Amino acid sequence: MQKIFASIVTIGDELLIGQTIDTNSAWMAQRLNDAGIWVQRRVAVGDEKQAIIRALEEEGAASQIVLITGGLGPTADDITKPVLCEYFGGQLVQNEQALENVNRLVSRNGLPVLQRNLDQALVPDTATVLQNARGTAPGMWFEKNDVIYVSMPGVPFEMKGLMTDEVIPRLQQRFSTPELLHHTLITTGMGESFVAERIQAFEAALPAHIKLAYLPSYGLLKLRLTSITPDKLHAAEEMDAAFDKLRSLLADITVTDRDIPMGVMLGNLLKDKGLSVSTAESCTGGRIASQITAVSGSSAYFKGSVVSYANEVKMNVLGVAADTLETFGAVSEQTVRQMAEGALRLLKTDCVMAVSGIMGPDGGSAEKPVGTVWIAVGGPGNIRTMRYHFRYDRERNTEMTCVAAMNELRKWLVS
């Protein structure tokens, strides 16, 4: 069975200058992958007619499916729709269902319906209209030279609704796709090259249709096995066996055998054990708590956080002793231990994570250089402390501190 290839084209000057981060492509690629469609190219272009046309031509020559987001708003800089009308021929006409949707959404908020809003219901008559229940700009489905082109709004919430309700089901009806199977192991504490050395024989013995990818990120290394096959049952058995072998080879550095965020992993563990957690954060500024509470249902195990960025908060709220700070400093084993103990007393949880460090670029010294972090995890009467030294910029040091703290609590919970 042949692969079905897709390209993703995102439109907008704001993407090219870095003013807006393109999260649409990653989400769309994941959904296409789940549907057995292989994303081979992702392209960003500005709000310029010739750039958009060139992208449509090039991606249409490379893929059977071209998904487009952006440039469908009601303002003058949103030029995607007239460009699509020209590229696919035809003329703009009013779509009655889209017009009804515009009137419903705008009037629901008690706002006057402007001509700009009404113009959202204008679509090329060469398009199949995909109704957008979450916004005023409809999706548009075109076909040209045996290639499917789908244009959707750039607003992530609207795009996701169209992809889920309209685009993916239509593509699955149109194409017979192979099964794409993935198994992902997440590890920490060993660099990519050392992991590759350890599993060299395993990787060499993999059958040709199973690929191993190394995906490093902040303090973590994902190892993803991928199989592309029309025989799902046989492939699943083969993949399970290979993944079991990989997991056994890397058991000592494994964080989880599912492709999930650290906050989800930790939440699942806390729920399984029926335990609650809190955080006392200095250098991470509440980011650990944010990653935990990004998970739906986290109120079942997360009680709260103290962001004790200033020393007076460490003392007045968490009860860190003044002489501890004077003698050892804010970034020290003694201070982070007392932060953890104070959070346990104050928030009355079963376990805690506490962090204090120097994220940079300033604030380091010969004794405590930038990237020095102390972490404390544990529960009442059983606090563990550990020192880390990260060597990157402020953003990466902060994120790696979050990962390290959650992984240290994981290790404490399973010990």
Where does 179-256 sit in CATH, by number? 3.30.70.2860
Domain ranges of the chain: 4-174, 179-256, 262-414
pLDDT digits (tens, 9 = 90+) for 211-238: 999 999 989 999 999 987 766 667 788 9
Winning range, highest mean pLDDT, from 126-140, 164-178, 272-286: 272-286
Q: Are 331 and 269 in contact (CB under 8 A)?
A: no
**Helix, strand, coil % over all residues of the chain, rounded to 5:** 45, 25, 30
Q: Where are the beta strands (DSSP E) in 234-361?
A: 254-256, 277-281, 302-307, 351-357
User: What's 262-414's CATH class?
Assistant: alpha beta
pLDDT band at 116 (very low <50, low <70, confident <90, very high): confident
Cα gap 217→296, rounded to integer Å = 24
Q: Where are the beta strands (DSSP E) in 282-415?
A: 302-307, 351-357, 372-379, 382-389
Question: Is the model more confident about 372 or about 230?
Answer: 372
Task: Say whether pLDDT at 179 is over 80.
Answer: no
Q: Where are the beta strands (DSSP E) in 259-345?
A: 277-281, 302-307
Contacts of 173 (CB under 8 A, 6+ apart): none
Fold of 4-174: Molybdenum Cofactor Biosythetic Enzyme; Chain A (3.40.980)
Cα-to-chain-centroid distance, residue 65: 24
Nearest to 175 by CA among 283, 65, 340: 65
pLDDT band at 77 (very low <50, low <70, confident <90, very high): confident
Give the residue ranges of DSSP H helices in 138-254: 156-162, 168-174, 192-198, 200-204, 232-249
pLDDT band at 121 (very low <50, low <70, confident <90, very high): confident
